[in-house]
Structure 1
Amino acid sequence: MLIKSLDLPADVRNFYIDSGIEELYPPQSEAIESGLLNGWNVLAAIPTASGKTLLAELAMLKSISKGGKALYIVPLRALASEKYNRFREFSSIGIKENGIRVGISTGDFDYRDEWLGSNDIIVATSEKTDSLLRNRTSWMSDITTIVVDEVHLLNSANRGPTLEITLTKLMELNPECQIIALSATVGNAGDIADWLDAGLVISEWRPTTLHEGVFYGSGIDFRNSFKAIEARTDDSSLNVLLDTLSDDGQCLVFESSRRNCVGFAKKAGPVVAETLDPETSKALEDLVLQIIEFGESDITYSLAECVRNGVAFHHAGLNVKHRRIVENGFKDNLIKVICSTPTLAAGLNLPARRVIVRNYKRYDPNFGMEPIPVLDYKQMAGRAGRPHLDPYGESVIMARSEDEVKSLFANYIHADAEDITSKLGTENALRTHVLSTIVHGIAGTRDGLMSFMGSTFFAHQNGTDDLKAIVDECLDFLVEHRMLDDQGDKGFVPTSLGKMVTTLYIDPLSAALIVEGLEKARYVTDLTLLHLVCRTPDMRLLYLRSKDYEGLNDFVIEHKDELVDIPSPFKATDYEFFLAEVKTAVLVLDWINERSVEYITRKYNVGEGDVHVFAGIACWLMHAISVLSTLPDIKWPDVTPLLEKRLQYGIRPELKDLVDIRGIGRSRARVLYESGFQNIDDVETAGMDTITALIGPNLAIKVFDDISMKNKMKVKV
C-alpha cells in the first residue's frame, strides 16, 4: 500500500514521501484496512521496529486535520522525550494555520497543566495522564485520539493498575474517542483488543530479518543453520561480540544485574578498543570529557574508561546525562557495544546488529535466580537488526550445556509470549484509584463504583465478583482515615483530606501514615520528617546488607526520640523493614547535609541515578506534607517548604537563595557561599569578573543572563 494512496491531506502524504517513506509495511497496510484512518480503534501487536509508531502518527495527523487533539501515552519519561522530539518534526506540515503544536508533560503530579491544551499532540506518561484526570484538567475532554504505547504493560504489577484505570477513565470520559494501542506480540492480544473494542492487527513480520539462536561450544546454533565463532579470547561472549564488530555491526549485551553489566563492559573494553579506527577513538574522547564533566562519583570514571574503549554500560544507576551521552554515542556509531540491564529493551529505540543475552535468569528477592519471562526475551531479541542499516539482525542466548541449548530453544526461541493479565485485583493497587474515582465524580456509591470497575480489563478477564470485597476494604480504609464521608444510601463524599490526597497523587496509605506519624512524634526534626516519608509505600527503600544492622541499631538508639513508631526488635520482619526505612532516611539526610555524591554512592552501594531518584521521591512526598499542612484540623511543622527545597537541590539551609540562580547547583552554590555570597543580590553586586574567577566564564555568563531576566520580570510585576 502506497503512502500517496492514503486518505490523508496532501501535506501529510508529502511529509512522509519527502522523508523517504513511500510504501507501508504489511502490518501497517493491515491496520489501514482495519479502519485506522476511519476513526476505528486498533490494537497493533507487532514486533519492535515494524512500524508501530507510524500507525499512531497517521491516526493522530488525520484526527488533527479534522480539528481534533491527540494524547500519546508512554510508560517511561525517556520514551516521552523521544516521541516528543519526533512529533515536533510535524511543525512543517501545513494542516494547521500556525503549524502542528506538540507538548510534553511528565513532571509534577499536582498541577493541571492547562497550558498543554493549546497543543495538538500531548505526550505524557500514564501516571501523569492519571494525575491530569484527577486534577480535572479541562482539555482532557477534547481529546479525539488516544495512543497507548506499550499497552502490554497492563501486565506490570507496578505500572499496570494505573494504566488500566487511566484507560478505563478515558474511555468513560471520551466514549467517541479513537484508541490506538501499540503492543509487543503477546499471547492474548485478542483479549486486550476485545476490551478496547478494537480491531486487531497481529503479525510477526519485520523489516529486517531476525535470526534467533543459542551459542554453545564453538558457534551459534540458529534454527536452520550453524555459525562458527572464532575463539579469539577465553570468554565466549567476547568472541560472539568480536564477531559482530568484525562485520561492522554494533552489539547490545543484556546482563542480569548492574554489577554484571559494569563487569562485562570493563572486560570487553580492551579487546573492543583494538578494533577502533583513529577517527572513532578521537570522537570518543569528546564523549569521555562530557561524562567526566557531568559526573560526581566513582562510576563516572568507570564509564569514561569504558567509553574511551568504545564500550558502555547502561542501567538505572547512571545519572540522566550519562544515559543520554551513552545513547547518543551508540546512535552515532561511536560506541560499538552497550551492556545493559533488561530495562533498555523495554523503553528505548537503540537497535543493533546483534543482541547477546548473557544471562536469561534474573534475581527475585523471594525466589532467588529465576528465568525471565518469554515476553522479556522477545523484547530483547527485538532490538536486533537496524532497519535500513543492517541486512539482518541476530539474537543469541549464551548456553552452558547441550541440555540447556534444547531448553532455550523450547522455552524462549520457539515459545510464544505469555498472556497479559490484569494486576488490579489487590487492595494496594485499588486503594488510590477508588478514592480518585469518587473524587473525580465518576462514581459515588458502591454500586456506581462496581459499575465503573466492570469496565476495567480485570473485569473483562475475571468478572467483578472478586473485586467487590476488595472495593469494600478500600472504602472502609478511606472512611476510617477521614478521606471519605460515608453518607449511607447517598453514597460517599470526599473530604478535604481525600480531595487533597488525590490531587497530590500519593497513596492514601501514605497520607494516613504521615498524619498518624506526626501525631505520635515526640518532637519533629529533619530526620523525623524524612523517616515519615520513608515509611510510606510511595517511597523506594534501600536493601539491608548484613553489615548494616549494627550501625543502624546504634543510630536508632541515638535518635530514638526523632524516629516514629519504632517496632520491637523481636518482631523480626517488622524491625527489618523499619531498619530499611531508617537506612533510606539517613541516605537522604546525607544528601541534604551536602555529603558528596561520591561519598553517598560508596557508603550505600548505589549509583548516581539512584541518589537522585531517592531524593526526588522524598522531595515529592515532602511537597505533599507541605500541602497537607494547610488543613485546618491538623497541627503541622512549618519547616517542610525549606526541607522540600533542600531535597530538590541537596543543600544545607544557607544555600536556599543561591540555588535559585539558573545553572547554580549544590557544589557551585557552596563555592559562592564560602566566598561570601549569600544571595542573588550579592552575586550581582560582585560583578562578572569576580564570579568568573570562582565558577568559570561560560557559567558566569549564564548566571548574569539569568539575573538580568529575573530583574526584568520584577520590573514587569
Structure 2
Amino acid sequence: MLQELLCRQKDVLMILPYVAIVQEKISGLSSFGIELGFFVEEYAGSKGRFPPTKRREKKSLYIATIEKGHSLVNSLIETGRIGNLGLIVVDELHMIGEGSRGAILEMTLAKILYTSKTTQIIGMSATLNNVEDLQKFLQAEYFSSHFRPVELKEYLKINDTIYEVDNKAENGMTFSRLLNFKYSDTLKKMDPDHLVALVSEVIPNYSCLVFCPTKKNCENVAEMLCKFLSKAHLKHREKEKCDVIKNLQNASNGNLCRVLKHTIPYGIAYHHSGLTNEERKLLEEAYSTGVLCLFTCTSTLAAGVNLPARRVILRAPYVAKEFLKRNQYKQMIGRAGRAGIDTTGESILIMQEKDKKQVLELISKPLENCYSHLVQEFNKGIQSLFLSLIGLKIATNLGDIYHFMNGTFFGVQQKILLKDKSLWEITVESLRYLTEKGLLQRDTACRSEEEFQCNFHITKLGRASFKGTIDLAYCDILYRDLKRGLEGLVLESFLHLIYLTTPYDLASQCEPNWMIYFRQFNQLTPAEQNLASLLGVSESFIGKKASGQNIRKKVDKDIVNRLYLSLVLYTLLKDTNIWSVSEKFNMPRGYLQNLLTGAASFSSCVLHFCEELEEFWVYKALLAELTKKLTYCVKAELIPLMEVTGVLEGRAKQLYNAGYKTLMHLANANPEVLIKTIDHLSRRQAKQIVSSAKMLLHEKAEALQEEVEELLRPPSDLAAGVAPSVEKE
C-alpha cells in the first residue's frame, strides 16, 4: 500500500469486514500518513464523502467496510476517476461466500475488473479452499504459505483426558496427558468441563481466550471462573485493574456492569456484542497490555480485532446451536500464539463423547468451499447489481449485462450453482423485475426484452435507490413513507424524522415489550401521539397488547415495530445515556449502540436517496443534521472531538474538560502533556489521537484550499470547458 501511494502515486482502497477493524487500522496508519504525506480516510457507518475529495497532489488511503467500499467504487466509476485507484486490498476474502455482504464484495471486485485494467487487487484469507474459482474470477496469481511465526498445537479434551491432534494417527489424535487438578465435589458440579484447571495452567502470566457458544454463556463462565480461582489472582497488577474499572465507569457516566465489576479484579472479562464500543475498546486495551489475562468470548471475536492468546479454549464445538464449520474452527484456533511474545500457541477443544465422531471429522476435513451469493441474494445481489451497472453506464443492454455476469465469481461457478435456469434466463428475469418495479425503463424501440441489443435506462426512482444503496426490497416502501411524510411532517421533535430513518430490516426482527411500549407512548406529546395515529398505531391498540387482549383489527406489524425502535432511538438522542435507556427499554446496551449505528448509516442512505428526487428537497437539510446526531449521539460540544478516530464519548468528555475543545486543540497537543493531563491514557493512545486529529485537520484544510482555488480560477479556464468539481457530502 505504501509503495502504491508513495512510489506509483496512486490512491489505495483497503476493505475490511467490520467497523471496529476499520477504526483500528485508521488509528494505526494515520501517523504514517502524517509523516509520509498521504491522507487516511475512514469509510464506515455514516462516515465518508461521495464522491471523495479530489486531491491535487497528495494521495488517499481509503479504509472501508464492505458496504462503504462498494459505494466508494461506484462513486469513482461515476466520476471517471476509477483509474486513480492503483490498488485494492481485501482482508478476509473468504467473506465473498457469505450472504448479502459476500454479494456486495463480489459486485465491487467485478466492477473493478470490468472498468479498470490498471487497478491491482490483493485478496487475503487464512480459510479458503476452492481457490481455483477465485483465481479464475480475479484473473489472479495465487500465493500460499503455511509458515506461522509461532507454532500452533491443537488438542482435544474428553472428560479429564487431553489428546493431541495428529493427522498421522489412525483416528486423528494421540494421547497427550491427564489433567492434574484437585476438584472438590462442588467444583465438579459447577465446572464439569474442567475450565478452572485449564485456565489456571496459563493465567495470570499468559493470556487465554475461552470461546463460548452464546453471549449469556460468556458471562456465566466468567463469573464461574472467578468463584473458584485462587485469591492470589486478585494481587496480580491490582492497581492497573482498579484503573480499568475507573475507566469503564468514566466512559459510562458512572455506570459499571455487575458482572465486570466482579470479574475484572481477577483479570477476567467477557467480550461480546452486548458491550458498548467504549467498554469493548477499554477491555481490549487492558487485555493487549496484559492487565486482563482472560476473555470469555463469542465466535465474532475470532474474525474481529487482533487479540491473540497463549491458549485458546473452545468451550464446545457449537456456535449457538449450530455445529462448528471448519473455517470457523480455524479462525478461532488461529488466535493462539502471539508473535514476538509467545514461543508456542495451543488450542483445546472441549467435547462430549456424543460429539466425538463429528469433531474428528471437523479437525481432519478440508475447509468449506466458497460459493457466490450473487443470485441467492436477489434484492441485495443480482438486481441491485444490474441497477448500478445501468446507472453507472457500465453495461446498458442485455448483451453487455450478460457478458458482465459471465465475468463474475457467480459466472465462474454457474455450472455448479444453477440447476433449473440458465444465466441468460436469470438475467432476463431480473431486468424484467426491475422494469416492473419502475426502477428501469426499456427502449421503446425494443420489440422484446430478450433482444440482445435491447437498451435499458435508469428511472429517477432507480437512480435514487442506487445512489442511496437502498435495499431494493424496501425502495418503494421508503418512497411511499417519505411521500406520506410530506403531507404532514411533524417537526415539533425529531421523532418523525427518526421513524423515516429507522432501518426496515431491524424493525422486521424486533419483538416489542408491550408494557414498555405503552409506558413510553403515554410520555409522548399530543403532536407525537398524533404522528403515531397517522401511521395507524393507536394508544388503544398498544394498551390492548400490553394487557394481553386479543385484537381482531389488523395493524401493520412492521410499522408498529418500526415505531417502537424509533421511540428507542428518540429516547437515546434526548437522553444520550445508553445505560439509562438500556434500563428503560430492557435492551442490551451493545444492541442499542448497534441500533444507533444502523440508523445513522440508513439515515445517510436516505439522505442520498432524497438528493436524487427533487420532490424531497425539504428532507436534505433535516437529514444531514439528523445523521450527525445519530452518528455521535452526544451533546453538540463533544461532536468535533468525536470525529477523531478512537475518541469515544468518555474520552471526549475528559478531553473537553481538560481544555481540548476543538480539533485544532487536539492536533496541536503534545502527546506527553496529554498523558499527564488525561487520566488512564497510554502513550500509544495519545500519539494515535494526535495523529488522527492532525490527519482530519489536514483533510479539512486541503478541502478548503481546493474550494478557494476553484473560486479564484480565471474565467478563461471555465470558458475552455474545465468544469468545476461539485462535491456532495
Give yes or no for TM over 0.5: yes
- State the alpha-carbon separation in 1 of the partners of residues 118 and 139 from structure 2: 12
- Report if aligned partners of 2:248, 2:282 keep a CA contact under 8 Å in 1: yes
Q: 1:114 aligns with which of 42, 48, 53?
A: 53
CA shift for structure 1 position 442: 0.8
- State the alpha-carbon separation in 2 of the partners of residues 80 and 705 from structure 1: 21
In structure 2, the residue matched to 1:449 is 401
In structure 1, the residue matched to 2:217 is 260
CA shift for structure 1 position 481: 4.8
In structure 2, the residue matched to 1:284 is 241
CA shift for structure 1 position 619: 2.9
Q: 2:196 aligns with which of 222, 227, 239?
A: 239
Note if 1:124 corresponds to 2:76. Answer: no
Note if 1:103 corresponds to 2:37. Answer: no
- State the alpha-carbon separation in 1 of the partners of residues 195 and 22 from structure 2: 34
CA shift for structure 1 position 184: 1.8
- State the alpha-carbon separation in 1 of the partners of residues 598 and 238 from structure 2: 39
1:128 aligns to what SS in structure 2? helix
Name the structure, 1 or 2, with higher relative contact order (CA <8 Å, separation 6+).
Answer: 2
In structure 2, the residue matched to 1:427 is 378
Letter of the 1:602 partner, please give it: E
1:277-356 → structure 2 map (5 Å cutoff):
278=235, 280-296=237-253, 300-356=257-313
- CA displacement, residues 578-611 of structure 1 (integer Å, 9 cap, x when unaligned): 5433332222132233274223223444333322
Note if 1:544 corresponds to 2:501. Answer: no
- Report if aligned partners of 1:186, 1:416 keep a CA contact under 8 Å in 2: no
Unaligned runs of 5+ in 1: 1-56, 93-97, 364-368, 666-694
In structure 2, the residue matched to 1:701 is 659
Note if 1:134 corresponds to 2:74. Answer: yes
Q: 2:575 aligns with which of 594, 605, 611?
A: 594
Distance 1:536 1:545, change over 3 A: closer
Q: Relative to structure 2, which stretch is displaced further, 128-137 or 575-584? A: 575-584
Q: 1:414 aligns with which of 364, 368, 385?
A: 364
2:614 aligns to what SS in structure 1? coil
CA shift for structure 1 position 110: 5.5
1:562 aligns to what SS in structure 2? helix
- State the alpha-carbon separation in 1 of the partners of residues 434 and 49 from structure 2: 20
Note if 1:221 corresponds to 2:163. Answer: yes
Unaligned runs of 5+ in 2: 166-173, 447-453, 523-527, 542-549, 645-652, 668-696, 709-729
Distance 1:261 1:424, change over 3 A: same
1:155-174 → structure 2 map (5 Å cutoff):
155-174=97-116
In structure 1, the residue matched to 2:588 is 607
In structure 2, the residue matched to 1:563 is 535
- Report if aligned partners of 1:422, 1:458 keep a CA contact under 8 Å in 2: yes
In structure 1, the residue matched to 2:648 is none
In structure 1, the residue matched to 2:390 is 438
Note if 1:618 corresponds to 2:555. Answer: no
- CA displacement, residues 353-387 of structure 1 (integer Å, 9 cap, x when unaligned): 11111133234xxxxx2213221111001111122
- State the alpha-carbon separation in 1 of the partners of residues 465 and 71 from structure 2: 11
CA shift for structure 1 position 239: 2.4
In structure 2, the residue matched to 1:673 is none
Note if 1:274 corresponds to 2:231. Answer: yes
Distance 1:132 1:246, change over 3 A: closer
In structure 1, the residue matched to 2:342 is 390
Q: TM-score, normalised by structure 1?
A: 0.74
- Report if aligned partners of 1:213, 1:413 keep a CA contact under 8 Å in 2: no
- State the alpha-carbon separation in 2 of the partners of residues 83 and 648 from structure 1: 20
CA shift for structure 1 position 414: 1.7
CA shift for structure 1 position 661: 6.3
Q: Relative to structure 2, which stretch is displaced further, 431-440 or 471-480? A: 471-480
CA shift for structure 1 position 231: 4.3
Distance 1:279 1:120, change over 3 A: same
- Report if aligned partners of 1:484, 1:494 keep a CA contact under 8 Å in 2: yes
CA shift for structure 1 position 109: 5.3
Distance 1:183 1:658, change over 3 A: closer
- State the alpha-carbon separation in 1 of the partners of residues 40 and 332 from structure 2: 30
Q: Relative to structure 2, which stretch is displaced further, 255-264 or 468-477? A: 468-477
- CA displacement, residues 300-319 of structure 1 (integer Å, 9 cap, x when unaligned): 45334432321111122322
CA shift for structure 1 position 434: 2.0
- CA displacement, residues 387-416 of structure 1 (integer Å, 9 cap, x when unaligned): 23323222112223x232343122x22222
Letter of the 1:155 partner, please give it: G
- Report if aligned partners of 2:468, 2:609 keep a CA contact under 8 Å in 1: no
- Report if aligned partners of 1:64, 1:70 keep a CA contact under 8 Å in 2: no
In structure 1, the residue matched to 2:468 is 504
- State the alpha-carbon separation in 1 of the partners of residues 177 and 534 from structure 2: 64
- CA displacement, residues 147-193 of structure 1 (integer Å, 9 cap, x when unaligned): 22110001111310111010111112222433222112333122222
Distance 1:416 1:704, change over 3 A: closer
Q: 1:378 aligns with which of 312, 330, 347?
A: 330
- CA displacement, residues 425-484 of structure 1 (integer Å, 9 cap, x when unaligned): 131222322222222221112222222121111111115855445444543454445443
1:593 aligns to what SS in structure 2? helix
In structure 2, the residue matched to 1:43 is none
In structure 2, the residue matched to 1:647 is 630
- Report if aligned partners of 2:204, 2:233 keep a CA contact under 8 Å in 1: no
Report how many aligned residue pairs link the two structures: 610
- Report if aligned partners of 1:297, 1:601 keep a CA contact under 8 Å in 2: no
- State the alpha-carbon separation in 2 of the partners of residues 146 and 696 from structure 1: 37
Distance 1:605 1:459, change over 3 A: farther
- State the alpha-carbon separation in 2 of the partners of residues 206 and 661 from structure 1: 42
Letter of the 1:101 partner, please give it: F
1:249 aligns to what SS in structure 2? coil
- Report if aligned partners of 1:427, 1:471 keep a CA contact under 8 Å in 2: no
- CA displacement, residues 62-105 of structure 1 (integer Å, 9 cap, x when unaligned): 7853555543222222223344455567679xxxxx83635232
Distance 1:144 1:640, change over 3 A: closer
1:187 aligns to what SS in structure 2? coil
Percent same amino acid at aligned positions? 23
Q: TM-score, normalised by structure 2?
A: 0.73
Note if 1:485 corresponds to 2:466. Answer: no
- State the alpha-carbon separation in 1 of the partners of residues 595 and 258 from structure 2: 22
Distance 1:120 1:227, change over 3 A: farther
Note if 1:582 corresponds to 2:575. Answer: no
1:220 aligns to what SS in structure 2? strand
Distance 1:664 1:420, change over 3 A: closer
In structure 1, the residue matched to 2:614 is 632
Distance 1:272 1:450, change over 3 A: farther
- State the alpha-carbon separation in 2 of the partners of residues 563 and 251 from structure 1: 51
- State the alpha-carbon separation in 2 of the partners of residues 78 and 420 from structure 1: 25
- State the alpha-carbon separation in 2 of the partners of residues 156 and 438 from structure 1: 25
Letter of the 1:372 partner, please give it: L
Q: Relative to structure 2, which stretch is displaced further, 241-250 or 610-619? A: 241-250
- State the alpha-carbon separation in 1 of the partners of residues 559 and 146 from structure 2: 48
Distance 1:349 1:272, change over 3 A: farther
- State the alpha-carbon separation in 1 of the partners of residues 412 and 148 from structure 2: 31
